Amino acid sequence: MPRLQELYTRYRDQGLKIVAVEASRDTERSKKFIAKKGLSFLLLEDRTEDPVVGGLFGVHAFPTSFILDASGRILYYHLGFDEGDEKKIAGEIRTLLGE
């Protein structure tokens, strides 16, 4: 999550939005975490038993990321979020912002 915040801070002025969906189990704990880490992008909570929205996007593991263009088309899918992944995702975002 802090890595997402870094991405957001770096690219939000150029038009990047981040929407994070969390299959929440503990709202209070999440709220504390968000405040502690200073997360300022949009965080949504999916509290359904078998997360409905994850199902809609065929998400079968966490973390999974999708990158979308301005018209809402998914142009990139990525599973995991390790150090190398971060660069890859940032690269994709830069490419799209530059179009």
Partner 1 sequence: MRSRALLAASVVLVLAGAPACSKKTTPGQTEAKAYKEAKSAYYDAETPEAKAVIAERYLAEFPGGEHAPAFVRVEVENRGTRLGEKQRALDTVRAALQATGDPGRHLEIVLTAYPLAKELDQPLDLTAAIAQVEKERPLSYDENGSIMEVAAKHRQWQLLLQRADAALAQATPEAVRADNPGRKLGPAKLQHKVDGRAAEAMTYKAWALANTGKPEQAEELFAAARKRTPRSFLGLSLVPVALFEGRAALQQGRLDRAMELLAPDAVMGGDSTAMAYLETAWKKKNGSEKGLDDYLHKMRRVLSREAADFTLPDYQGEEHTFSKELGRVTLLAFWFPT
Least distance in Å: CB of 38 to partner 1? 14
Polymer length in residues for the chain: 99
Least distance in Å: CB of 50 to partner 1? 11
Cβ neighbours, 10 Å, residue 54 = 17
Can you give the C-alpha Rg of the chain in angstroms?
14
Least distance in Å: CB of 6 to partner 1? 12
Cβ distance to partner 1 smaller for residue 38 or 72:
72
Cβ distance to partner 1 smaller for residue 38 or 73:
73
**Contacts with partner 1, residue ranges (CB under 8 A):** 1, 4, 7, 11, 14-27, 29-31, 33-34, 42-46, 52-54, 56-70, 72-81, 85, 88-89, 92-93, 96-97
Q: Which of 9, 4, 10, 8 is nearest to 22 (CA)?
A: 4
Write the CB contacts of 92 (distance below 8 Å, at least 6 apart in sequence): 67, 75, 76
